[in-house]
Every structure is written in C-alpha cells, then in structure tokens.
Structure 1
Amino acid sequence: MGRATQAKTNPGRFFEDYAVGQVIEHAVPRTVGQGERALYHALYPARHALYSSDEFARSCGLPGAPLDDLAAFHVVFGKTVPDVSLNAVANLGYAEGRWLAPVYLGDTLRASSEVIGLKQNSNGKTGVVYVRTRGSNQRGETVLEYCRWVMVRKGDVEAPAPAAVVPDLKKALTVDDLTLPEGLDFSTYDFTLAGEPHRWGDYEVGETIDHVDGVTIEEAEHMLATRLWQNTAKVHFDATFRPDGQRLIYGGHVMSMARALSFNGLANAQMIVGLNGGAHANPCFSGDTVKAWSEVLDKAETPAPGVGAIRLRLVATKGGAPFALRGEDGKYLPDVLLDLDYWALMPR
C-alpha cells in the first residue's frame, strides 16, 4: 500500500476560515475577447448600442465598444466564487459598486477580495461574510470594485463565533463618487441608431417603466452562462446540493437578463457606472419567466459633454405584476427575484 498523502482538492472556505482584514488573491486571470461579447449577447437580448458597435462607441469618444459592464462584473465575480462563496447558502446583497474604467477586448482581468466583516447567524450553522472585491486589468488598473455579503456554511458547527463586525456601507453613491470614462462625449449622440429618442431630460424622478417583454429561463442557458464566468458555486451545478433537488439560477444571470430587458424603455441608459445596492429577493429556477420594470430614483448632471447620470431601480420578477415590490409586512413579494439600484450614464 502506498502511504497516505495530503488531499489536493479544494473543499472551499467555510465561515470559520475567514478573518476580518484577510486579503484573498483569486486564481485564474481571464483575457476577454470578441467571443465573450458574442456569447453574452447570445445569452441575453442585449442591444445597447455602445456595447454592440465599435463605430457607435467611437462616435461617443471611446476607442471602441467596451465589454458590457455586467459581463465585466460577472468575469470578476466568477473569480471570487471558489474563495468566497463555494459553500454559500445564498448571496445576500451588494453595495458601493463602482465601474472605474471600461474593459476592452484583449484586456486580462484578475480579482482580489478583502474580508471587511463577519457575523455568525443565531443558528450557529452559518454566518455572513462581507468582502470588498476589486477587479484589475493587465496594467494593474482597477476597473471595478464592489462590496457584497454572502451567507456561508460552517464546516465545524462547534467552531467559536468570531467577534461580530458589520461594515458601515453607503446606502447609495452620489454622483461625485462615480467615475466617467475618459473621453466620453454624448453631444453628437445618434438616437436613431441607439433605438429610442428618450434622453436624460425626458425622465422624471418617481417615474416607473414597465419593460413589457419577458424571457423564460432555460436550464441549459443558465448553466452555460455560469460556466462562462467560471462560477463554481455548487448550488448552480449540483442538483443534490439543495433539499428541493433544483439547481439555483446564478443571480448574475437574472441581473443581465433584467438589464437587457430594460432596453425597451431605457435604450439610452448606456453605461452602468455605480451599484448602490442589490438583493436577490427570491430564488430563480429553470422554467421561471423573467420580466422587469424600473423606477427613476434620482438624476444628476455630469461634467462630461452631453452626459447625464440617472439612478434607477431595476426589479426583476417571475411574471409578477409591474411596480409591486413589497407586501404589507415589508418583505419582498414572492414573485420578486431581484431589486437592483444602480447609476447609468445617458445622453442629455
């Protein structure tokens, strides 16, 4: 018999394996290319012109069409899963997300995360881990950063609870917190090619928009998307990992689907530059039909020529009535899948 050797497989981190201040450098940098964009646009009905056409992007002062903002987010997010959420019960929320530089085809993205908070749950079996993740390119430039918190299982339920540290995160970014891409200029913006005539001044705070269209989630498509982002969370792949025997749809898949559906009514909300908050309110499964609606929460001018910032709430539902969010008890209605609060850039 050969002698026993140390296991070489990675079971993932459990709640007791984290410490506040810990910095994790995530493995496997990813170079993005035209295939990444094409597959993203095949998975979602993505039609925003700035991300579809190099010529349109150049007319707006950029060197070419960037990779879709949420595609860049998913690439960075996927890097973090083996180290942050492999043993997660659920991804709970987001805050202080900022897109700091466009990601272009040929860029290589990597990610690192700092643990900024820990709090064991009262059941003693799980805890919430708070991290701040940064994605950077091959030049070492940070292209995006965000905070998220995730409920993670304990590997040893007898492990002592750490001192509770809950970070004080901003409820919303201000326009001064946002970074505008260098050279962005919407002063000669082509509304005909963009697909809708509605500009920044046409939207009012408090206005709600039903995006009308819906897409039924297919098992194969969400699995393909999750593999594309190299997301290894067990709940998305292994049907035996949940008591109900269903694979949970990756929350980012719902985010991108809702964002793409919002084109109908918000075609000119071109660039996402800030993520104020977000919650995956209820689980999504294959066979659910995703619909979306938006609410205008705020507006602000920016120093870039012809560019305004608009703060939007994007709500994805599984066929629920538009503009219904919470019940009388203050909890999300069971049809609500996603509640996302973000800043976008729009021609003035």
Structure 2
Amino acid sequence: MERVVVQIDADATLPFWRGAQVFRFASVAYAIGAQVVSVNAEVPVGSGVPAYSHPLISWLLIALLVIWSGVSGLVYAFELLPRPPMVITELVITVLLIASTMWVVRPEYYHHHQSLPSTFWVTNAVVSVALLWGPIAGGVTGVGLSLLSLGVEEQFHNVVTDATTPILLTVGVTLGIGARIVTRAQQELSAAVRMQAATKERERLAREVHDGALQVLALMRRRGADLDGDAAELGRLAGEQEQALRTLISRQAAMPGIDETTELRSRLQAVLPADVAFSGPADAIHLPDAMVTELVAVVVTILDNVARHAGDGARAFVLLEDLGDEVVLTVRDDGVGIPDGRLGEAEAEGRMGVSKSIRGRMADIGGEALLDTGPDIGTEWELHVPRGDGQDGARD
C-alpha cells in the first residue's frame, strides 16, 4: 500500500527569529561599548562633573540588559517558551530601561545623547513584535519606542528630522510583512502537500474498489437486467449499491487547500460506471470545490440519460481536456440520439433534466453546455468551464 508522509515545519518564521538573535547579540556588544564611553564622560567635557549621576546603578541596568538578551535570545531561537509572554516582557523591560535614563544620567548629558540602552538595542523589541504580530504591530511599536526615547531626551522638536522614528518604523513594517509572507507560503505548501496525499489516497482507494466491488456490482446489475423475478430485483439493488458506493468514493473528504480546490480527474473517475470509457490528461486538474461538485453532477445526469434513453447496447465515452484558459468535458454516446424537438417537448411537459440539471448547473458555475445530437448519430455534450482568476496555475 502506498503511503504518503506529510511533514511540514510548524513555524515558517523560525529562521527569522534565529537571525534576529544574531542582531540581538551584536546590539548587546554595542550597548556595552556605549555604556563604557558614556559612564566615563563629563558634563561638560573637562568640567570634572560625570555624565552619570548613578554609575553603579547604570551598570546594574546594563547587566539586566545582558542577562535578558541572553535568556530571550535562547528562548526565541529554540522555542523554549511561548513567545507572546516573552515579547510582552521584552517590551516592558525596554520601556523601563529607556525611562531609567532620567534617573541614572544627568539631564545635561541625555538631552544630547541616546537613552541608556541605545536605539540599536531597542530595535530588538520592535523586531520581536513584528515577527510575532505582523507589520502593523511592528510599525506601531517602532514609532512608540522612538517617541518615548525622544521624550526622555526632550527632543520632540526634532521628531521630523531625527532618523530614529523612520528607521524603527521601517524595521517593524518590513519584518512584519516578511513574516506574514513566509507564514502564508508555508500554509499554502502544507495545504498542497496534504491535498496531494489525499488525492493519492482517493485514487488508490478508487482503483482498489473499481477493480473489485464496483466491477462485481456492475456485472450483477447488467446480468440482472436480462432476467426476471428475484434475479432482476437483485440486479436493481446491485445497481443502487454501485451508484451509492461511487458517490461515497467521490465525496471522500479531500483535504482542501487555501482556496478550497479539488482535483477534478479523480472525482470523475470515482463516479464513472465501469462500462464508461474515460480519457484525460496525466496531470491533475484542480478547480474550486463547488465547481467540481457541479461538473460531476452534470456528468452523472448525462450518463443517467444515456442509460435510460440511448438504447440497448449504447456505450458512453468521457473525455477531459485542460486547455489552459478553460477545462472541457466531453460526454458522448453512440446511442439513438435525441429526435428534433424532443427537448422542447420535455421542457413544456415540465421535465427539466436538460435545462436545469445540465445547462442550469453549468450556468451557475460560469460555464456552458453545448449539445450535438440527432437521430441515429448519438449524443455529445461539451461542457466548457473557464478558469477563474488564480486557477491557471492549478495544474500539477
């Protein structure tokens, strides 16, 4: 038995998270370097007045920055803990470090320099929010932390010319969009793999049932039709069970993709009686599930008409073609054909098999049903279905 193993990484953004931690450790090194320079600075230079009013506390805060960066970097890179609470904690720590600048640094210094953790390190919080919650959250966080930093430095009047705001905004939006794109791509890949596995399983099941139970039921139906009494009843019941089994196979749960498409060829093959000749392309043809359902129903209706009206010994043929911009299904029989005017009479009598079950269904899905028939030339239906937007590349 053929088995298809479906294995897709659960988190498509994991490479982003791991790459972001490389940036995090670089920003830690920069923050330590900036601390070394700033803690030894004087206000003004040469005055002997240190820039930091509480240098020891500033070093404790830098130690907190280093410890948190190490812990969060490992957690993010290896998914050791749930990310949402970690990101919220990171935001709180970042805001507190920025605000602590007013406590440990003299105003004469921080009014003209970066806040304590440095804008470079603050970017980590923006990156984390963007990767977790997307571009809008990332952009808002970038602008919010930038405005907080400018407020601490009392530099709101430079908000237009300062580069901090556009940089953090760009980082948040860009990484958020990138994370959403790869997540979407991973979902589509996962759905495609699951659909392929489900299609293979349906085809395998259809082959096994077709080669066994369906052929036996079809044989009983044909033999019973030539007999009387209980044998005829058994043939009729076998025919009902054959049709029910074909319907069950055709409706076997297919794993829908992002756009809820279904493979047309395998659905058709599952419902076709054993004595109907089928020809189709080697490649799978994916169409919206609702469209496939209607097409299969139309084919079943046509074949039912063949069985009832085409005459004894009539054979049916089904041809599936993928023409790129449209899919064409041709259902032909070599029976007696439909006499001129017969369809109009049937519609006038209230029998809507052709007008509703065939042409009506095709119109509902944006398609067209063309009929070519006549006495003693058989009947041929051409079902044309144009591919909608985004379907042109649906073939495997």
Q: Which has the larger radius of gyration?
A: 2
Per residue, is there more helix in 1 or in 2? 2
Q: Same fold (TM over 0.5)?
A: no
Higher relative contact order (CA 8 A, sep 6+): 1
Task: Give the TM-score normalised by structure 2.
Answer: 0.23
Per residue, is there more strand in 1 or in 2? 1
